[in-house]
């Protein structure tokens, strides 16, 4: 069978998470850089969202579905645990990040900086100030979660961690999130350990355009 082809942008947190899984599992894969709603993406995802996967005659959309295919199609190490409790915890955290935290941290907080809807293109301070309490609350929740076992789903690295790390990578560049993460001791230690992994280092995206990099 041909190499798995991941189609999407390396700057996308979901695309990067899938690439990190390939790196963790030593899968020989191809990343095809395409913008959101590109024809190659729309050919697989009905709403043009990234990433999508093409692997032989298999085509998939949605990062969790793609990761499930990759994890079950290739040998260990596995990022989706088989032990019931750890498997459930992994699903729990993937769901929480995708349905709640992505909305707070990325779609609201980060977008208020990098894609502001202000007339002059400056960060949307009203939105940033309004969402900061929720941002701090969710960072605190992650901090408490990793205090006991060192990872989101117990004492080993799983897709729950992979799914979160690309978001934290961006958050630390912006002041309110950086301050909250710095004050969260367990989270700070967790981030330092997790981001030293080759899968994280090998998938660091290129810096954004200068006009999007300004955080303050």
Q: How far is CA 65 from CA 57, 71, 93, 177, 195, in A?
A: 16, 10, 15, 29, 24
At residue 207 the predicted structure's pLDDT band, cuts being 50, 70 and 90, is confident
Which pLDDT value is given to residue 211? 40
CA dist 169 and 200 (Å) reads 10
Mean pLDDT of 170-175: 97
Distances (CA, A) of 124 to 107, 143, 158, 193, 215: 13, 27, 35, 33, 11
Work out the angle between the directed axes of helices 159-171 and 63-73 (0-180°, nearest 10): 130
- Long-range CB pairs of 95-99 (<8 Å, 24+ gap) are 97/160, 97/163, 97/164, 97/167, 98/64, 98/163
Domain 5-73: homologous superfamily in CATH: Glutaredoxin (3.40.30.10)
Quick one: which of 13, 1, 127 has its CA closest to 70? Answer: 1
pLDDT reading at 213 higher than 70: no
Q: Is the pLDDT of residue 216 over 50?
A: no
Second-level CATH architecture of 84-201: Up-down Bundle (1.20)
Q: Where in the chain is the domain with CATH 3.40.30.10?
A: 5-73
Give backbone dihedrals phi and psi of 121, rounded to 5 degrees, phi first: 80, 5
Q: What is the pLDDT at residue 212?
A: 43
pLDDT in tens, 47-70: 999 999 999 999 999 999 999 999
In the chain, CATH 1.20.1050.10 covers: 84-201
Instruction: Yes or no: say if 51 and 18 are a contact pair by the CB < 8 Å rule.
Output: yes
pLDDT at 215 over 80: no
pTM: 0.94
Name the one residue in this structure whose structure tokens are 């090998």.
202
138 DSSP 8-state letter: H
Q: Which among 48, 41, 65 is positioned nearest to 159, based on CA atoms?
A: 65
């Amino acid at each position: 069978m041909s190499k798995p082809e991941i189609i999407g942008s390396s700057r996308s947190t979901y695309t990067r998470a899938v690439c990190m899984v390939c790196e963790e599992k030593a899968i020989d894969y191809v990343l095809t850089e395409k913008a959101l709603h590109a024809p190659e993406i729309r050919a697989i995802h009905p709403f043009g969202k990234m990433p999508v996967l093409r692997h032989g005659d298999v085509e998939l959309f949605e990062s969790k579905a793609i990761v499930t295919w990759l994890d079950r199609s290739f040998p260990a190490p596995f990022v989706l645990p088989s032990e019931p409790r750890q498997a459930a915890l992994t699903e729990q955290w993937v769901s929480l990040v995708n349905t709640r935290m992505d909305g707070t941290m990325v779609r609201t907080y980060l977008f208020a900086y990098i894609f502001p809807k202000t007339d002059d293109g400056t960060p949307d301070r009203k939105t940033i100030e309004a969402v900061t309490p929720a941002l701090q609350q969710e960072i605190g929740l992650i901090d408490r979660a990793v205090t006991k076992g060192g990872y989101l789903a117990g004492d080993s690295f799983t897709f729950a961690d992979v799914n979160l790390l690309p978001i934290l990578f961006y958050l630390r560049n912006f002041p309110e999130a950086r301050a909250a993460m710095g004050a969260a001791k367990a989270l700070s230690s967790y981030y330092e350990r997790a981001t030293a992994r080759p899968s994280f280092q090998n998938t660091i995206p290129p810096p954004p355009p200068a006009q999007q990099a300004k955080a303050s």
